[in-house]
Amino acid sequence: MKHWLLLFLLSASLPAYAQAQPAGQRYTLSGYLKDAATGEALSGVTVSAGESGTASNNYGFYSLTLPRGRYTIRFSSIGFEPVSRVVELEGNLRVDQELQVAAGLLEEVVVSEEKKGGDVRDLSMSTNTLDIRQIRNIPALLGEVDIVRSIQLLPGVSTVGEGAGGFNVRGGAADQNLVLLDEAPVYNTSHLFGFFSIFNPDAVKEVTLVKGGIPARYGGRSSSLLDVRMSEGNYRELRVDGGIGLVFSRLALEGPLKKDTASFLLAARRSYIDFLAAPFLEEDMKDALFNFYDLTAKVNYRVNKRNSLFISGTLARDNFGQSFTFNWGNTTTTARWNHLFSDRLFMNLTGIYSNYDYELRFGEAGEQSFNWDSKILNFSLKPDFIFYLNASNTLRFGAKATWYKFEPGNGVVGNWDESNNISLPLKYALESGVYLENEQRLGAGIALQYGLRYSRFNYLGPGKVYTYHDTVPNEPRRLKQEYEAGRSESITVYDQLEPRFSLKIGIGDNSSLKASYNRQAQYLHLVSNTAATTPLDVWTPSTNNIKPQTSSQYAIGYFRDFGEAFHASVELYYKDILNQLDYIDNSEIILNEYLEGELLPARGRAYGAEFFLEKTLGRFTGWVSYTLSRSLRKAEGINNGNWFFNRYDRTHVLNTVLSSRLGKRWTVSGTWVYYSGTPATFPTSRLEIQGWQIPYNTSGRRNNYRVGPYHRLDLSATLKGREGGKWNSSWVFSLYNVYNRRNPYSVFFQQDPDNPVRTQAVRLSVVGSIIPAVTYNFSF
């Protein structure tokens, strides 16, 4: 409560401070920046006045405090025509500006990344911001644009295999990534077991991945941030976008509710695997479910020059199976209020709801059946403030409180006559935090960002509380005591200080040196028996038996522009993580009330080098990225207490993305990826039981071998429809896995049927052949 009171007093005093500056000396130039075609706010626009400058925030607002005088103000952003205006700053002045899309540039800049990490003049590092136009030109599975698959082509990002849910950043697990959709956390990003993500590209404006130097305003995960921002909707005219593909179709509708004042966006997708398969199914399979869908909506209202309201939400679900079914889905809602206290103090107040649930069911009525479901939901409230102190300092501060409810598992075994409920106890928690950070420009190309976040996590009742005996290697910890905690009883409290620091030193006009450090705490854990995220994973809070993860990451990088077209960077990083969850061998994870006794705290470390070369202008555009890295783990009772490579370790990762325009209507693109094989535990001996050879590992070594390498070539060609009128269309022809590579997802071992004394290794490949596709896109 004390830190919330401190935040209130600080925010209340700043408007008075802003008004108390000496009159006639310095004045504030501020305003909103918009897209001239749609009326949408433009973020990241550079606003410069002589040697001073700033950038518009996520809602298009900028503020620049300068001495009295005459200035030429320049507004510039990639993909838009720059605008210059001469102003006489004799007092506080509001200047709103609209920017026109650069018609000639739009066709040329296929890679239109707002290069926050690669830009030598920007402070942030280990950051990539992708415009949705760039993502649309990347070849994709079945021709369907996908955001998560696109970021897997960036340096430092990988996946554990074909069709794996989630992604891995700098050797981290999938649950260590904070994924936000309009500020709401997303706990599972996957459709169709990881082949597609829940983010509809027709509803997305911008995607930002932050791998290091994460600002203090973000917290809750130990590896990275993926910030997905939805479009606001067109404030000027009604617009329809859509596409028809082989697997699913999509439709998006946006337009003004009141011109230049209120807008809406509605986007939907649905697969039709079930419709296509229906004629080929047996009669007893006609009611089988094979579909996924998502619905995204947003409404925005500009109340007046100082207030704006936003509400957005997403519903995404997957339904697969018949007598054996998987069902899972995400629901998010975000409500925001923007308010200008003064020309220099901006506030965004956000309320958030997020829910993820899944269900596993097999068996039919009248037969022995099993039903299992699990859920995590949270409510959050967060005020965020930006105070433009002066031309050299931008101060950010705020707070966040999140209440969680965990349903680890509700299981029912039985039939119509009898059932056995084996549900696990519910868990509750409250997470809160406050932060303060400042971005400071020192001149001579030197800039700093420094901040501090204080977080606090309270594991609450009601619920059962367990204590265990000390760890015995390779054995579950024995239960010592259990008791029932009362409603809202504070069971365990953790708190952490999380400092953040970034530095940029400009070296001439075309290069810079950057460094960063960030410490982060993660209070939620994903319990999974696979390296890839699956619908059966269980989220659990930090408890009296499970400590929060903490990570410390150091990074240094060199960034250089070669003319206007080529950009390059090299980054080195080292990351140390404490209290990662690992498991004893042969642990029982599903519906285990005493699961905490099967878990072990592990220490992790990851280090590597990332190389990035990008071409953004001209007929040929694209990038090449290469990552050389190591990711290791160490836990008492595993691998004889020695370090071992964790499941997310990939020594070499190479990504190539190329795109070329052929005339005015054709664009061809290609990607080629190469991953080193991931570590895996293979058997070293055999045990014979009643004539059966059972392979098992007697070495005590975890991840003692590697699965084979992964590589794949994808190609696509886009044919634009003839121009004329408001109807626009394109055909996308794509080839996924061009040379039929059977990439190994995993390897399992079985007795050779032709020679029972031999053990046979069987490689499982999810996609083992070329997949052609065609998609028709349209807009009007």
3-state secondary structure 309-328: EEEEEEEEEEEEECCEEEEE
Intrachain domains 2-102 and 127-779 with the same fold: no
Q: How many CB atoms lie within 10 A of CB 636?
A: 14
Average pLDDT over residues 91-110: 74
User: Where is average pLDDT lowest: 117-126, 294-303, 710-719?
Assistant: 117-126
Q: Residue 118 pLDDT > 50, yes or no?
A: no
Average pLDDT over residues 530-541: 71
Predicted pLDDT of residue 105: 47
Residues contacting 420, CB < 8 A, separation 6+: 412, 413, 414
User: Where is average pLDDT lowest: 6-20, 432-446, 624-638, 696-710?
Assistant: 6-20
Predicted pLDDT of residue 364: 64
Predicted pLDDT of residue 281: 59
Q: Residue 507 pLDDT > 80, yes or no?
A: yes
Residue pointed to by tokens 């066709």 = 107
Chain Cα centroid distance, residue 77: 24
HEC string for 140-204: CHHHCCCHHHHHCCCCCEECCCCCCECCEECCCCHHHEEEEECCEECCCCEEHHHCEECCCHHHE
Predicted pLDDT of residue 512: 95
Q: Residue 115 pLDDT > 50, yes or no?
A: no
Find residue 502's DSSP bridge partners. 449, 516
Q: Are 170 and 156 in contact (CB under 8 A)?
A: yes
Name the residue among 107, 51, 53, 116 with its Cα closest to residue 79.
107
Chain Cα centroid distance, residue 305: 32
**Would you give the DSSP letter of residue 11?**
H
3-state helix, strand, coil in the chain (%, to 5): 10, 60, 35
Secondary structure (3-state) at 132: helix
For 662-688, the pLDDT digits (tens) are 988 999 999 999 999 989 888 777 777
Q: Are 249 and 279 in contact (CB under 8 A)?
A: no
Q: Measure the CA–CA gap between 207 and 146, rounded to whole angstroms.
A: 11
CATH class, domain 127-779, is mainly beta
Predicted pLDDT of residue 107: 44
Predicted pLDDT of residue 419: 55
Range of 42-46, 191-195, 689-693 with top mean pLDDT:
42-46
User: Where is average pLDDT lowest: 198-202, 247-251, 277-281, 602-606?
Assistant: 277-281
CA angle (573, 577, 580) in 5-degree steps = 140
Q: Residue 163 pLDDT > 80, yes or no?
A: no
For the chain, percent of residues with pLDDT exceeding 70: 88
Average pLDDT over residues 541-554: 96
Secondary structure (3-state) at 285: helix
pTM given for the model = 0.91
Q: Residue 24 pLDDT > 60, yes or no?
A: no
Predicted pLDDT of residue 136: 81
Q: Residue 613 pLDDT > 70, yes or no?
A: yes
Residues contacting 49, CB < 8 A, separation 6+: 29, 64, 66, 71, 72, 73, 74
Please report, for residues 36, 84, 99, 207, 616, the alpha-carbon distance to residue 81 in angstroms, rounded to integers and kept in the order given: 11, 10, 6, 22, 16
More confident residue, 537 or 116: 537
* Per-chain mean pLDDT for the chain: 87
Predicted pLDDT of residue 693: 67
Q: Residue 369 pLDDT > 90, yes or no?
A: no
Predicted pLDDT of residue 12: 46
For 50-62, the pLDDT digits (tens) are 888 899 999 999 9
Q: How far apart are the first and last CA of the chain?
A: 52
Predicted pLDDT of residue 104: 54
Q: Measure the CA–CA gap between 200 and 33, rounded to whole angstroms.
A: 25
Average pLDDT over residues 477-495: 93
Strands 26-35 and 97-99: parallel
Predicted pLDDT of residue 291: 87
Write down the CATH superfamily of domain 2-102. Carboxypeptidase-like, regulatory domain (2.60.40.1120)
Average pLDDT over residues 471-478: 79
Q: Measure the CA–CA gap between 490 and 432, rounded to whole angstroms.
A: 14
Predicted pLDDT of residue 114: 40
Predicted pLDDT of residue 564: 83
Predicted pLDDT of residue 16: 46
Average pLDDT over residues 755-778: 81
Average pLDDT over residues 136-145: 80
CA angle (43, 44, 46) in 5-degree steps = 125
CA angle (187, 190, 194) in 5-degree steps = 135
Range of 108-117, 130-139, 691-700 with top mean pLDDT:
130-139
Please report, for residues 55, 463, 520, the alpha-carbon distance to residue 495 in angstroms, rounded to integers and kept in the order given: 34, 22, 11
Q: Residue 97 pLDDT > 60, yes or no?
A: yes
Predicted pLDDT of residue 681: 83
Strands 224-230 and 177-181: parallel
Predicted pLDDT of residue 411: 77
Dihedral angle computed from the Cα positions of residues 643, 645, 648 and 651, in that order, rounded to the nearest 10 degrees: 130
Residue 700, phi-psi category: left (phi > 0), alpha (psi -120 to 50), beta (remainder): left
Q: Which residues of 157-176 are buried (b: 16+ CB within 10 A; e: fewer)?
A: bbbbbbbbbbbbbbbbbbbb
The domain segmentation of the chain, as residue ranges, is 2-102, 127-779
Average pLDDT over residues 480-498: 94
pLDDT category at 108 given cuts 50, 70, 90 is very low
Predicted pLDDT of residue 111: 39
User: Where is average pLDDT lowest: 467-471, 480-484, 548-552, 685-689?
Assistant: 685-689
Predicted pLDDT of residue 629: 97
Name the residue among 338, 259, 336 with its Cα closest to residue 305.
338
Predicted pLDDT of residue 201: 92
Predicted pLDDT of residue 242: 94
Predicted pLDDT of residue 377: 96
